[in-house]
Structure 1
Amino acid sequence: MIHNLTTSRRFWLIFLLTLSLTVLAGLGAAWYVLWKPNVRYSAFGPAYLYIRTGTGYEAVLDSLRKYELLHDEATFDRVARWQNYPARVQPGRYLLRPGLGNRALVELLSRGEQDTVAFTLDAFKYKPQLARQVARQLETDSVSLRRLLQDNADLQRRYQLDTTSILTLFLPGAYRLLWNTSARQFLDSAAATHRRFWTPERRRRADSLGLSPAEVHVLASIVQRETAQKTDKPLIAGAYLNRLRRGMRLQADPTLLWAIGNFGVKRVLNKDKLVDSPYNTYKHKGLPPGPITSANRQSLDAVLKPARHNYVFFCARPGGSGFSDFAETFAEHKKNARRYQHWLDSLGVKR
């Protein structure tokens, strides 16, 4: 009887030990497949996985393999198929942290928890420049964006702007956007930033000047091309507003450069003033039909808060400082202009 009990105890002890080892082995295997960190560490900074719109699961695997983002592609593939990820692929830009295991990675991708892009919109002069900028930083297709920018009926309906004035919608600066932002979503995001900028106070200031927000953008774009000096911007804005109030032509050289398509010109010639363009403010009174660059906040606020003075003329100051010399009379202005021309002559600048 005692012998039988001892044998029974041995049996159960061996059984429990075997079961424990099996469970531990199973847990170890599960940890290895599901939770063991599987994203490679990159010495070059954060690792990102880009999944283009319309991309399938095989393309995701190709990207993971091509850029060597995983330690073990086979275990990721197994977990991805267990969790039906191939049917739930979502586009985007995903930050892959080194500590991520397969289960966490698959859940991240399945839920579409993508990282945003710190998108910088630099000042631009023409629509193709805008489209190229966006396409370089986002998935947005430049052709689709250019097509939307030329759809007058759509622009009027959605943004109350036409194909020329639509360029007043964009404020240079930093944005945070999803990488797979579409052309439409990009325009809507720009419109939302534009609305936030145009506070009731700024709108009241524009009204007091007799300008619409779009016209403020146009004038600010000219001011921006005239100088990068913060203190000169309100002075130049005030001079242009004085001209508009007196019914004078703006005679703004930057508008000529936009019309001839050459912003590298240092010396405007009389033949430039003959260019046949609505942007030629030597020929046409008032503001040009659209901005000649995307005006930044500083230039816009310079127009909305112009310096109060009687100047109607100004000329770049010799020396290349970016500052201007201002004048109330044409005779005084001619003296300033001659000093600047002599300085260009001394440098041998012909154009």
Structure 2
Amino acid sequence: MKKLFTTCILLALVFASLAAYWVSQPILAGGSAPVAFTIEPGSGMTGAAQEIADAGAPLNPLLFALLARASGKGNRIKAGSYELKAGTTPLKLLDQLVRGEFAQESLTIIEGWSFRQMRLAIAAHPGLKHDSKDLTDAELLARISGEYAVAEGLFFPDTYLFAKGASDFQIYRQAYSLMSKRLDEAWSRRDLSLPYRTPYEALVMASIVEKETGQKSERGMVAGVFVNRLRTGMLLQTDPTVIYGMGERYRGVIRKSDLTTDTPYNTYTRKGLPPTPIALPGAASLAAAMNPDKTEALYFVARGDGTSHFSGSLGEHNQAVNKYLR
């Protein structure tokens, strides 16, 4: 009997030693590709362990379920999508499931995109749950904010991280919240002499600056030109607003008839700012709109190399147009 007891003790020690070794060893060897898996709601610990193994992870589901129960964490795991990375041990994987460290996806919204382009990018992302797909722009915006009637320009272009399977509303809300924050911060630091009555008007200007130049170093000058025109009552005469007003009619070329056809966004036929932003402006354009360069320039023309020539008189501007365009 004593010999049997000793044998049992030895076996228990061997098992404990093997278990301690197993929980501390990486499930995937270094250099292995990550394994994506999903724990479905209501799976339970046994079901979850099997789902991980079925996804292709070299994990013994019985041992993993026993580990979870022995640690008292078996009923604390969270359903969701995860990623098992090389070097992760069973113990670390269990902690990952308990903390709900879901697999991260990302989506980048580009500066200068229209809201329509943003919606297309979000709709095309396979990692999102597309809860907004059947909503109009107005209906979508109403779910996020009741302050504005038009969604254009209200979402900050940035890279957003989210758990795989998250609602697309998460991206919209994050982008809207970040633009509100950035706009408020920029407005609080603005040049008080600017002719904007509201932060929204400054946002409209920032969107024009965003579309007028890809050169961050020139955005302050471009904003300065448009502010000078606003102050003197000149027409802004900026092509990006005309293009925006053309909508689906725009095919890559602006004709003279497009410049004379009146729309709410045609700054060749209407004074002042257009009624809404025309794009999603980034931080540099917001800063330029709020603190434009001090300049006497009223005109600018593209040189063809990505930069612009700025002029203070129509005569100088016409010479620059002849030199760089004609």
Band the TM-score falls in, shorter-chain normalisation: 0.7 to 0.9
Mapped to 2, the partners of 1:59 and 1:210 lie a distance apart of: 61
Give the Å deviation of 1:295. Answer: 0.9
Cα distance in structure 1, aligned partners of 2:205 and 2:275: 10
Q: Which residue does 1:334 correspond to in 2? A: 318
Q: Shift of residue 239 of structure 1?
A: 0.8
Matched, 1:270 2:256: yes
- Unaligned stretches of 5+ residues in structure 2: none
Q: Which residue of 2 aligns with 1:127?
A: 115
Q: Which moved more, 1:86-95 or 1:271-280?
A: 86-95
Q: Which structure's residues are more often helix, by fraction?
A: 1
Distance 1:16 1:59 in 2: 36
Q: Whole-Å Cα distance in 1 between the matches of residues 316 and 170 of structure 2?
A: 51
Q: Corresponding residue for 1:186?
A: 171
TM-score (norm 1): 0.74
Equivalent in the alignment of 2:154: 169
Per-residue deviation, residues 45-93 of structure 1 (Å, max 9, x unmatched): 5x25353886957698556534x22343454456568878589542244
Shift of 1:148: 7.5
Question: Could you tell me which residue of structure 1 aligns to residue 36 of structure 2?
Answer: 49
Percent identical:
26
- SS for the counterpart of 1:49 is strand
Please tell me whether the aligned partners of residues 259 and 279 of structure 1 are also in contact (alpha carbons under 8 angstroms). yes
Of residues 2, 5, 9, the one that matches 1:20 is 9
1:303 maps to which residue?
289
1:285 maps to: 271
Q: Distance in 1 between matches of 2:241 and 2:133?
A: 25
Q: In structure 2, what is the Cα distance between the partners aligned to 1:170 and 1:216?
A: 15
Cα offset, 1:301, TM superposition: 0.9
Which of residues 196, 202, 216 in structure 2 aligns to 1:216? 202
The whole-number CA distance in structure 2 between the counterparts of 1:60 and 1:16 is 33
Q: TM-score, normalised by structure 2?
A: 0.79
Aligned match of 1:147: 135
Q: Could you tell me how far 1:122 is from its partner in structure 2?
A: 1.8
Question: Retained in 2: the 8 A contact 1:120–1:173?
Answer: yes
Separation of aligned partners in 1, 2:271 and 2:73: 65
The alignment yields a C-alpha RMSD, in angstroms, of 3.6
* Amino acid corresponding to residue 173 of structure 2 in structure 1: D
How many equivalent residue pairs? Answer: 320
Q: Which amino acid aligns with 2:25?
A: P
Seen in structure 2, the aligned counterparts of structure 1 residues 44 and 340 have a Cα distance that, compared at 3 Å, is farther
Q: How has the CA–CA distance of structure 1 residues 137 and 295 changed in structure 2, closer, same or farther, with 3 Å as cutoff?
A: same
Matched residue of 2:237: which SS?
Answer: coil
Task: Work out which of the two has the higher radius of gyration on C-alpha atoms and give 1 or 2.
Answer: 1
Shift of residue 36 of structure 1? 5.2
Residue type of the alignment partner of 2:324: Y
Choose from 84, 88, 102 the match for 1:114.
Answer: 102
Question: Contact 1:124/1:130 (CA < 8 Å) preserved in 2?
Answer: no
Cα offset for 1:220? 1.6
**What is the Cα deviation at residue 313 of structure 1?**
1.6
1:106–1:231: structure 2 CA closer, same or farther, 3 Å change rule?
Answer: closer
Counterpart of 1:242 in structure 2 is: 228
User: Structure 1: which amino acid aligns with 2:96?
Assistant: L
Give me the whole-angstrom Cα distance separating, in 2, the residues matched to 1:205 and 1:134: 32
Report the residue type matching 1:27 in the other structure.
Answer: A
